[in-house]
Amino acid sequence: MNLALFDFDGTITTSDTFTPFLRLAATPGRMLAGSVLLGPLALGYRLGAVSASRARPVVARVAFHGASAAAAGDLGRMYATEVLPGTVRRRALERVAWHQQQGDDVVVVSAALDVYLRPWCESRGLGCICTELEERNGRLTGRYRHGDCSGAEKVRQIRERYPLERYSQVYAYGDTSEDREMLALAHRKYYRWQEITDWSEAVDHGHPRAARPTRGQRG
């Protein structure tokens, strides 16, 4: 049996799914407060001084602190059903189906939020490792249970849940530097849908070269 690990945003989808969900989930008051409080963070992100993995938890704290967990779950399921299908690449679904037909374990490993990614994965019979929103007494704290699921955190959670020695081959699919550690785990590595043998084929002085991103794909 093989293991297939897929990043979600930019790999299975054509674009980021985190930001549109936050815009949908946050109340107008939170959006207004966020535009003021997060201005310096947004500027740092645009200038490359703040990474996405550092920015996401801060933005989520503003958007979700004190929000109803049940309401967020309902919204996440709606987002998974009505919005995500329009962002998914056909070639990604075909590759997922191919792995399933081989009898492989197929897992989506992503910094996307559990409230929408988990129901999307469950509807397709896929494993899911992702960023989990913390809940207390029916309310979201705005914090993450295990941190932002990117980079080394992806690998930690993969190893915790899937003993790699059980598998004949490990496949991994990613599209940014946040997937570098996950790709390093794999026998077969795919960066932006082209197979590579090592990270040097995906990145040259910080600029992707393995494959040009398609329209709408994040960098």
Residue 172 phi/psi, 5-degree rounding, is: -140, 140
Residue 124 inside a domain? The answer is yes
Provide the pLDDT for residue 30. Answer: 60
* Ranges of residues in the chain whose predicted pLDDT is under 70: 27-47, 49-51, 203-219
| DSSP state letter for 16 | -
Residue 61 inside a domain? The answer is yes
Residue 214 inside a domain? The answer is no
Residue 31 inside a domain? The answer is yes
Provide the pLDDT for residue 215. Answer: 33
CATH (domain of 184): 3.40.50.1000
Provide the pLDDT for residue 33. Answer: 58
Provide the pLDDT for residue 78. Answer: 97
Residue 216 inside a domain? The answer is no
Provide the pLDDT for residue 57. Answer: 83
Provide the pLDDT for residue 168. Answer: 97
Provide the pLDDT for residue 54. Answer: 77
Provide the pLDDT for residue 38. Answer: 59
Provide the pLDDT for residue 7. Answer: 98
Provide the pLDDT for residue 204. Answer: 47
How many domains does the structure of the chain reveal?
1
Residue 29 inside a domain? The answer is yes
Strand boundaries in the chain, DSSP class E: 3-6, 105-113, 127-131, 133-136, 139-144, 170-174, 188-191, 194-196, 203-204, 207-208
Provide the pLDDT for residue 99. Answer: 98
Provide the pLDDT for residue 45. Answer: 57
Entry pTM? 0.85
Residue 217 inside a domain? The answer is no
CA distances from 181 to 139, 151, 168 (A): 33, 6, 19
Provide the pLDDT for residue 50. Answer: 60
Residue 107 phi/psi, 5-degree rounding, is: -135, 130
Range of the domain at 123: 3-208
Provide the pLDDT for residue 206. Answer: 41
45 by Cβ neighbours in 10 Å (0-12 / 13-18 / 19+) ranks as middle
Token code pair at residue 68: 């109803």
